Chains A and B, each alone.
Chain A
Amino acid sequence: MIRLLTYRLNGRERTDAVPDNVLLLDHLRETVGLTGTKTGCDGGECGACTVLVDGAPVLSCLTLSATVAGRSVETVESLAEGGRLAFIQEGFHRKLGSQCGYCTPGLIMASEALLRQDPDPSEDAIREALGSNICRCTGYVKIIEAVRWAAESSAARSGSPAEPAR
């Protein structure tokens, strides 16, 4: 059955006609046309499809679109403001957190979620928080440096490490 789905996407409310059985990942990529969110596996194994729903990281390949009714969805496309990369993106840029870039949107969103919840995460906390995301290219060391860079830079900018990392 097709229903009208009203939700916030990247800060804007929108309403789409969505069949009940459509996954959020496919909805975002195919209906909305936001292809930043990636498919890396057949379901729940790689984290490439990570988006934020009400600020929490969610695997969009395991999420039915209908479940985001009335909620707020954020994808990688929402982070940069105008020409400026967000702190977490800037961290990935400076520290080489991305190589082929395929895992990157998922890892950036997972990192963003971590930083909002813990603005000053330890290396262990980062490794744990990113444990659902596979990257085949980087070996993760540079990704961890990227997250640390974002944490430190946003703390320096806001003057308080408790501020969210945006």
Chain B
Amino acid sequence: MERFGLSQPVPRREDPRLLRGEGCFIDDRTPPGALHAVVLRAPFAHARIASLDAAPARSAPGVRAVYTGADLAAAGVAEVACTAAPPETQWSGIREGDRFRERRQPALVADRVRFVGECVAFVVAETRRQALDASERIEVDYDPLPAVTACDEAPHGPPVWDDAADNVSFRWEIGDAAATSSAFAAAHRIVRRRIVNNRAQLCPLETRGTIAEYHAHTNRWTLHVPTQMPHGVRRQLAQVFGVGEERFRVLVEDVGGGFGGKNSLYPEQILCAVAARDLGRSVKWVADRSEAFLGDNHGRDLVSHAELALDAEHRVLALRMRNFANLGAYTASRGATPPTLGPLMAANTYRIPALHVDVAACFTHTVPTDPYRGAGRPEGLYVVERLMDAAARETGLDPVEFRRRNLIPPDAFPYRSPTGLLYDPCEFAQVIESAFERADAAGFPARRAEAKAQGRLRGLGIANYVERCGGGAGLSERSDLLVDPDGAVTLLIGSMSNGQGHETAYSQILYERLGLPFEKIRIVQGDTDRVASGTGTGGSWSLPMGGGAVVHAVDRLVETAKPIAADSLEAAVEDVEFRDGAFRVAGTDLAISFADTAARAAAEGRVRSDGAPGLEAVAVFEPGNYTFPYGTHLCEVEVDPETGAVRIAAYTAVHDFGQVLNPLLLAGQVHGGLAQGLGQALLERTAYDGEGQLLSASFMDYCIPRADDLPDFGFEPWITPSPGNPLDIKGCGEAGAAGSPPAAINAVLDALASAGVHDFDMPATPERVWRALRAARIASGD
């Protein structure tokens, strides 16, 4: 049982195909006779389209169709709706008197472009080269208009939407404004910072793409899309086309990374579907890298004016934040989520009696923003962890001591946060202790002294972290188990792996619970015709929720099969138990294997809902509450004051993710999150010029971490079972990306403090660090 069961480091079932080059990503297939499509994109951040002449492209060699915004509007193709409005709860909601101004993104713009890279025309031809050549013949006259790209300048900038002149999509608040104000009025000390969370480009290594097919005889589409949410994409397609969801089959094979960037429906998917229907041929579009930079939704991008009120004993009385969140030019499918999810976590691991966050979600002339690994939670945690360090510095307390004083105490659990979350028991203090030991924090002063002797500045940064994830709030996942007469089991599941290793994880659960070898287990995901429903993959919920659904389905399957086994064993159903892959009569050695039971069921004429002989079981799992993983990150950096270069000298993260299903997969998720968070903290700068041109639109200009930029990661799980699901696990996908930016920047600030730098915004690129050091030198008159 052990080798492939739960908590074992089982190598992945996905690997053989991926390691041999036999994976099937979107660009690895081209259906025979497929047409190829190319998008003409806006060269201006803000401009009126004075005229557009597509005729020269239409007559170009090989061209089968050219679409413009006017064509789409005439065809009745709707814009993409926002799927999640800002949440209204007992603790939060749109500010009184305000409302949500949703601005939906069309697949092609007709009269005015609002960000560089926006889709202006779609050209379909026999070859990609022909489509590209033709797209260059489209004549567009633009009248450029002034643009605004920074979210806190948006309210005074040129309007993105004329009917939202202040560029605000919605004002939303959470917490108790009155209690917070009075706490501030009574404060002994107030610590203030303006904290910027830099805009991030997600950059899954496989760019987005789509192959659309239309089947005229059934009036149905098949869309091949590398997405995290096949059923979500189907639902959105139905909305845009104004037809039933059953008209679409969304098929997903290997997905080359997602991180939130492959959640939503994108314009090009709609365009491929339109063209496939009109032309009766398969239509393929795959983004090149520069299109991915220009056209993929971005993440983060938040400016927070944050304040902490302290009493004389350096205890936090209240937290107040005024946030400007950058939505980009439209409200993306899930664009309202990050700005409202972040403040929910703003109290983090601390007892903060009063809290109020006021959010202005702003339109700018930039690519829309959507969830990126953590979807707002990393942004919220970043603010509070930066503030904690600032407060420690201003009170003269050690940052760890300051945090310890303010932790939610063990006797407070289950703890209701001021934002309305109900935290499971968390062992915050022990985890800090464990991280300190693992990182040899006691030896840090000696390491700092040694660095100093060599002319380098060494810093130690800490960040605590707790998040809500893993489903909850009405989300659910469904799992179907289909048993063949030979005992082979097929799992149909609505989550969608994009690198996490779900085939392996679900197989482990079935191995453990049904005693089946892997070769008798098939996992089906990413086919909306076969999988009845699906929430998809995001929010670290696939295994807490999907895994729970599988466990429940197994229980049902066992109950369904038990009477058949009992019959064959000539025993009473109550006397039969399922153990180690067989039904057994308790207290005897009478047994019938799972496979023999399945064969018997088929022989008795049992038929599954798909018409095949055999057994089946279905379960839906809806967790009552979220899971609350938490942890402590410690980052040690060394700064070369001559060049501003920052090197991560050591990194430690201790995390409670509940029970560990597979330590290999878990480490993979944590490491990947750390790398993305450290990239955002140290290297990745999304830059726009004054006219709204995206300057960071290649891997040369947008620097994501490479092997020689990152350290070894010291990650250790701290295990307390999660009460929220049958596997006792907590979501793990987003943790690394949430804890690492504040740990890294706190470390950089700790290193720079002796040189007089007391505030600094990500990313800590050599140039920015060097400038900060120089400014401090000049200010001190050195």
A interface residues (Cβ-Cβ under 8 A, vs B): 29, 34-42, 45-46, 48, 75-77, 79-80, 85, 89, 92-96, 98-105, 108, 123, 126-128, 130-144
- CB-contact partner of A100 in B290, B498, B674, B700, under 8 A: B498
B residues 416-446 near A (Cβ < 8 Å) are none
Residues of B contacting A46 with CB < 8 Å?
205, 289, 699
Query: What are 18 A-B interface contacts by the 8 Å CB criterion?
Result: A36-B22, A40-B289, A76-B21, A80-B19, A80-B20, A85-B19, A96-B501, A96-B665, A100-B206, A102-B206, A103-B205, A108-B19, A136-B203, A136-B672, A136-B676, A137-B205, A138-B675, A143-B707
Contact: A94 with B707, CB < 8 Å?
no
Question: How far is A130 from B705 in the complex, measured between Cα atoms in Å?
Answer: 12
Tell me if B707 and A127 are in contact (CB < 8 A): yes
Is B96 interfacial (CB-CB < 8 Å)?
A: no
Cβ of B18: which chain A residues have Cβ within 8 Å of it? Answer: 98, 101, 104
Complex contacts, B165 vs chain A, CB 8 Å: none
Chain B residue at minimal CB-CB distance from A33: B28
In the complex, what residue of chain B is closest to A105 when comparing beta carbons?
B21
Residues of B56-107 contacting chain A, CB below 8 A: none
Among B204, B700, B712, B713, the residue within 8 A (CB) of A45 is B700
B27 and A142 contacting across the interface, CB-CB below 8 Å: no
Pick the contact of B501: A85, A99, A144 (CB < 8 A).
A99
Query: Which of A35, A48, A100, A142 lies in contact with B255, CB distance below 8 A?
Result: A100
- Tell me whether A137 and B707 are in contact (CB under 8 A): no
In contact, B21 and A35 (Cβ under 8 angstroms): yes
Alpha-carbon separation in the docked complex, A138 to B704 (Å) = 12
State whether A96 touches B667 (Cβ < 8 A).
Answer: yes
Give the residue of B19, B674, B698, B712 whose beta carbon is less than 8 angstroms from that of A104. B19
| Pairwise interchain contact A98-B713, C-beta atoms closer than 8 A | no
For B290, list chain A residues within 8 Å (CB): 42
Interface residues of B in 24-56 (CB under 8 A from A): 25, 27-28
A98 touches B15 (CB 8 A): yes
Complex interface residues of chain B between 279 and 298 (CB less than 8 A to chain A): 288-290
Assess whether A137 is in contact with B706, with CB atoms less than 8 Å apart.
no
How far, in whole Å, are A101 and B25 apart by their CA atoms in the complex?
9
* B671 interface residue per 8 A CB criterion: yes
**At the interface, yes or no: B257 with Cβ under 8 Å from chain A?**
yes
Q: Is A37's CB under 8 angstroms from B21's CB?
A: yes
B-side contacts of A99, CB under 8 Å: 257, 499-501, 668, 672
Contacts of B704 in A (CB 8 A): 134, 136
With a cutoff of 8 Å between Cβ atoms, the chain B residues found around residue A128 in the complex are 707-708
A-chain residues with CB within 8 Å of residue B776 when the two chains form the complex: none
Nearest 7 CB-CB pairings of A with B: A36-B21, A101-B18, A100-B499, A102-B256, A139-B675, A139-B671, A99-B499
Q: B706-717 toward A: CB 8 Å interface, digit per residue (1/0)?
A: 111010110000
Name the CB-closest residue of A to B712: A141
- Neighbouring A residues of B710 by C-beta, 8 Å: 139-141
The SS class assigned to the A binding surface is loop
**Is the CB of B23 closer than 8 A to any CB of chain A?**
yes
User: Does B690 count as interface, using CB distance less than 8 angstroms?
Assistant: no
B706–A138 CB distance below 8 A: no
| B27 contact set on A, CB distance < 8 A | 35, 39
Q: Are B706 and A92 touching (Cβ within 8 A)? A: no
Complex contact B28–A41 (CB within 8 A): no
Which range holds the interface residue count of chain B?
35 or more
Which positions in B face A, CB cutoff 8 Å? 11-12, 14-23, 25, 27-28, 203-206, 254-257, 259, 288-290, 498-501, 664-665, 667-668, 671-672, 674-676, 698-700, 704-708, 710, 712-713, 736
Interface contact B256-A101, CB-CB below 8 Å: yes
**10 further contact pairs, Cβ within 8 A, besides A42-B290, A127-B708:** A35-B21, A48-B205, A75-B21, A85-B19, A89-B19, A134-B704, A139-B705, A139-B713, A140-B705, A142-B671
Query: A82–B708 Cα gap in the complex (Å)?
Result: 34
* Residues of the A chain whose Cβ atoms lie less than 8 Å from the Cβ of B706: 130-134, 140
A14 to B17, CA, bound (A): 25
A138 vs B89: C-alpha distance in the bound complex, in angstroms? Answer: 37
Task: Give B256's nearest chain A residue, CB to CB.
Answer: A102
Kindly provide the distance from the CB of B71 to the nearest chain A CB, expressed in whole angstroms.
Answer: 29
A37 to B28, CA, bound (A): 10
Q: How far is it, in angstroms, between the C-alpha of A108 and the C-alpha of B23 when the chains are bound? A: 14
Nearest-Cβ distance from residue B194 to partner chain A, whole angstroms: 30
Q: Which residue of B lies closest to A91 (CB)?
A: B19
Looking at the complex, which one of B11, B22, B736 makes contact with A96 (CB distance below 8 Å)? B11
Do A34 and B21 have beta carbons less than 8 Å apart?
A: yes
The CA-CA distance from A41 to B256 in the complex, in Å, is 13
A38 to B290 Cα, complex, angstroms? 16
Residues of B with C-beta under 8 A to A76: 19-21
* B21 and A77 form a contact (CB under 8 A): yes
| Cβ of A92 to closest chain B Cβ, rounded Å | 5
Assess whether A144 is in contact with B671, with CB atoms less than 8 Å apart: no
Complex CA distance for A38 and B25, rounded to whole angstroms: 9
Query: Complex formed: what's the CA distance from A85 to B16 in Å?
Result: 8
- Complex alpha-carbon distance, A77 and B20, angstroms: 6
Min C-beta distance of A67 to chain B, whole Å: 22
Decide yes or no: A140 and B707 within 8 Å by CB, A99-B500, A134-B205 being known contacts: yes
> Which residues does chain B contribute within 8 Å of A93, judged by CB atoms?
11-12, 15-16, 19
The docked-state distance in angstroms from the alpha carbon of A85 to that of B81 is 47
Cβ-closest chain B residue relative to A104: B18
Complexed CA–CA distance, A93 and B17 (Å): 11
Greatest chain A CB density within 10 A among B21, B672, B675 is at B21
Q: Tell me, rounded to whole Å, the shortest Cβ–Cβ distance linking B539 to chain A.
A: 18
Chain A residues within 8 Å of B16, by CB: 85, 93
Q: CB-CB < 8 A to A141: which residues of B?
A: 671, 710, 712-713
Known contacts being A77-B21, A139-B671, A142-B668, is A41 close to B15, with CB within 8 Å?
no
CA distance A111 to B708 in the complex (A): 14
Tell me the minimal C-beta distance from A115 to chain B in angstroms: 15
Contact B19 A94 (CB under 8 A): no
On whether A102 and B700 interact (CB within 8 A), knowing A36-B21, A138-B671, the answer reads: no
In the docked arrangement, what's the CA distance between A80 and B22, Å? 12
CA distance A29 to B704 in the complex (A): 26
* CA gap between A108 and B20 in the complex, in Å: 10
Give the complex CA separation of A96 and B704 in angstroms.
21
A79 vs B18: C-alpha distance in the bound complex, in angstroms? Answer: 13
Cα separation A92 to B15 with both chains bound (whole Å): 8
Q: A79-B20, A100-B205 are in contact. Are A138 and B668 (CB under 8 A)?
A: yes
A141 to B705, CA, bound (A): 12
Complex formed: what's the CA distance from A113 to B18 in Å? 19
Contact between chains at A126 and B21 (CB < 8 Å): no
> Bound state CA distance, A45 and B18, in angstroms?
22
